[in-house]
Amino acid sequence: MLTFKDLQEEVLRRATRNEGGTIFDTATKNIINSSLFRISREAPWRIMRRKSYFDTKVSYTTGVANATTSSTSVSFATSTLLTNAIQVGQRISFSGDGDIYTIRTITSETACTLDKEWGASTTTNMTFEIYAQTEYNLPIQSSHRMFLWHEDYGYPYQLEYVTDQEFISEGYDLDETGTPERYRMWGEDMVIDQPRQSGVMSVFSSATGDTNIEVTIFGISGGYPAYEIITTNSSDGATAVTGGVSFSSVERVVKNASSAGRIGVYCDANTATIVAIMPMGDTTSGVIYKKVQIHPGAVRKFPIYVNYYKDPYRLVNDGDIHELGQEFDEAIILLSVSKIKGETEQSGSGSFYQLWLDEIRSLRRTNMDKIDWFPILQRPRGSNRDRTVRPNLLYRQVGSTFGWRSR
């Protein structure tokens, strides 16, 4: 299998006959990576199929709460909100009021703010329930081809995907608990966990040699878009360096150089919240996390399994090997050469692109996975007439199972 350096040399040989010196070196690296990403999107490649899981998190009721009339602040006794990883956005109810609130910030282990003012009279020592967590991160670099399932019913049960509009229009009870039966996508960013309260960010590496690496953090500060560059310690990269901008949320984190260790970004000096982790070696931004919301919230802890196709990582170092496997080397080279020839207006760009199309067709025959969780609509008057879809039915009459058989 060809290394990143091997790919570069072969692309330069075919595209420029090595007559360009070093002028195309950086461009060639970028084009090889863009070709890798393009090919990964062409089909559900078997080699990129993965399985993982996450554990559900149930409601939290430890301690008692105190609230003041016309205030959004709530205090708790004996509760440990940060330690128990209570999330901003979770719903909460109290014995002293019939309303249901949303947690906006978590200001300490024993205090939070709500999305609206406390409407009842000042009350102390109330019981409360922070409803089960519904938002979770999917596995790192998971693509849009995926499904979720669990065994809480005693057998494999696939969760139904619903759109946000359908979820809202159907009027689902946001605070319902039970066994999750459906999910919806909920954004994508480079953040493992959002700050539980507005705070400054701290940056450090798992390797002491990662000194003077600039880490740029993009997010919201004071209600407006903001960014800050924090440079790792000049003598010991493992020593935390704290910035000066207070972020209420973070969306993107990048670094300007390759690192020997993992670069971590934490909210506040005591590292209470891990916001992002950037992988070693990668000179670009952090990994992408897709978010999902399950419904209803789980009433007990159990794993939800994720079957998905993984997006490949970017090639950075000369010794890196891409994840698609050696059978895809030629396709990456052909597409990259076609792009370079097209960009420099050389003859032969179309020929290499046609060769790439032929190579992809061959790869599809031998390496493409047949996604077995997509249902098939059978032909009317098929071989098993009692099981196939009847003729003259409207689409909405067929139903979600699309006939009797699934592949």
pLDDT at 193 over 90: no
Structural domain of residue 155, as residue ranges? Answer: 50-56+135-187+291-310
Q: 132: which 2 tokens?
A: 């089960």
Please check whether residue 387 lies inside any domain of the structure: no
Each residue's pLDDT tens digit, 274-291: 899 988 877 666 678 899
Q: What pLDDT sits at residue 6? A: 96
**Between 268 and 100, where is the model more confident?**
100
- Does residue 104 share a domain with residue 25? no
Do 275 and 207 belong to one domain?
Answer: yes
| In a domain? residue 383 | no
Question: Which residues, 6+ apart, have CB-to-CB distance to 341 below 8 Å?
Answer: 15, 347, 348, 349, 352
Number of structural domains the chain divides into: 4
Residues 155 and 298 in one domain: yes
Residue 383 has a pLDDT of 46
Question: Which residues make Cβ contacts (< 8 Å) with residue 117, sequence separation at least 6?
Answer: 70, 71, 72
- 180 shares a domain with 251: no
User: Which DSSP category does 326 fall into?
Assistant: G
Instruction: Count other Cβ atoms within 10 Å, centred on residue 319.
Output: 10
DSSP 219-275: EEETTEEEEEEEEPPSS-TTS-EEEEEEESEEEEEEESS--SS-EEEEETTTT-EEE
- Here the tokens at position 18 are 């090595």
Q: Which of 72-81, 156-165, 255-264, 268-277 has the lowest mean pLDDT?
A: 268-277
Query: Quick one: tokens of 137?
Result: 């991160």
The answer on 355 and 299 residing in a single domain is no
Give the SS3 label for residue 83: coil
Q: What digits encode the pLDDT tens for the residues 104-143? A: 988 888 999 999 999 889 999 999 999 999 999 999 888 8
**Position 357 pLDDT exceeds 90:** yes
304: part of which helix (H) or strand (E)?
A: strand 303-310
Q: Are strands 273-278 and 289-295 parallel, antiparallel or unpaired?
A: unpaired
Residues 208, 258: one domain?
yes
Rg of the Cα atoms in the chain:
26
In a domain, 70, yes or no: yes
SS3 106: strand
User: Using an 8 Å Cβ cutoff, are 88 and 81 in contact?
Assistant: no
Same domain membership, residue 272 and residue 258: yes
Contact 297, 134 (CB under 8 A): yes
Burial code (b: 16+ CB inside 10 Å, e: under 16) for 51-60 equals ebebebbbbb
Residue 123 lies in a domain: yes
Domain presence at residue 24: yes
b/e sequence 369-394, b meaning 16+ C-beta within 10 Å = eeeeeeeeebeeeeeeeeebbeeeee
**Mean pLDDT to the nearest integer, 26-44:** 93
**In terms of domains, do 295 and 156 share one?**
yes
125, 142: one domain: no
Model confidence at 270: pLDDT above 60: no
Q: Which residues pair with 130 in a beta bridge?
A: 60, 92
pTM above 0.75, yes or no: yes
Is 154 a member of any domain?
Answer: yes
Single-letter residue type at 345: E
Residues 78 and 109 in one domain: yes
Q: Read off the pLDDT of residues 374-393 as tens digits, 9 standing for 90 and up.
A: 544 444 444 444 444 445 54
Q: Flag whether 394 is in a domain.
A: no
Same domain for 140 and 16: no
Both 218 and 87 in one domain: the answer is no
148 within domain boundaries: yes
